[in-house]
Every structure is written in C-alpha cells, then in structure tokens.
Amino acid sequence: MNSTEPKMTILIYSDDRTTRESVRLAVGRRPAADLPKVEFVEVATRPAAIKALDAGGIDVAVLDGEAVPAGGLGIAREVKAEIYQAPPILVLIGRPQDAWLAAWSRAEAVVSHPLDPWEVAAAVEDLARRRIEPRVAS
C-alpha cells in the first residue's frame, strides 16, 4: 500500500478465526469505490481489543457479540462510555431477536449470524462514511 494513499483502519474482534476471516472477506480491500483502502487489525481477546481502541486510529470496530469469555456487546458499551470519540461499532449477534442488546451496547449497527457478506459490507460502509466523511470535510 502506498504510504501517501489514504487508508482506514478496521478493528475486528472475535475469538473465532473464521468469524474474523468472514468479516475481512466481506469488507474486502475497500468497502466502496469512493472510500479509502482498508487496513485490518484483528484481535482475539478483550485486552487486545481495548488496547487497540485506546490507542486510537481505529475508524470502524466490528465486535463479535458471541465471543467468549468477553462478548463484543459488553466491550461496545464499555468503549462508548470510556473512550472519547470512540469509533462507530458494528456488533455481530447470535440471532436477530438480540438486536435490543445491540441498542443497549450503544453500537451503531448490528448484523446477526450467520453473517451475510453483503449485509456486513453495507454496515461497514455506512459506519466508515460516518467516521471518514466528517474528517474529510474539516
């Protein structure tokens, strides 16, 4: 990747390697033609997720609500409460009926398992626009 080319960073948190891979493949190198290329940060533990988010530079976070022992819903709520200007968050939940938990977690988007690649890509694109476009406009 050219170092002068704009990029955006997406954090993927899941204890399941196949879930992380599914998200990465759904988003691809660029969620939309007019958005920057993506650099992924993949983590499998809560401490690694919090450390990456605390460090800043994350444009979108994708958190697996089904991860164990720390689910992405609780991490989302913690991040929204404790990190100034936290990135927009997509939570992955086990079933559509759990969407209310995503609202409780203060996540901006939710997709349920089994993951539909089009739904994941569309959610990430929407969240990326929320984060990137205000930055470009300023």
| pLDDT tens for the 138 residues of the chain, in order | 455 778 999 999 999 999 999 999 999 999 899 999 999 999 999 999 999 999 999 999 999 999 999 999 999 999 999 999 999 999 999 988 888 888 899 999 999 999 999 999 999 999 999 887 655 444
Q: Which residues contact 122 (CB under 8 A, 6 or more apart)?
A: none
**Spans of all domains in the chain:** 7-137
Distances (CA, A) of 101 to 96, 110, 115, 124: 10, 10, 17, 19
Q: For 70-96, write each residue's pLDDT tens digit.
A: 999 999 999 999 999 999 999 999 988
Answer yes or no: are the C-beta atoms of 75 and 48 closer than 8 Å: no
Evaluate whether the domain defined by 7-137 bears CATH number 3.40.50.2300: yes
Which pTM does this prediction carry? 0.92
Task: Show the DSSP H helices in 1-137 as ranges.
Answer: 17-27, 46-55, 72-82, 99-105, 117-137
Which pLDDT score is estimated for 58? Answer: 97
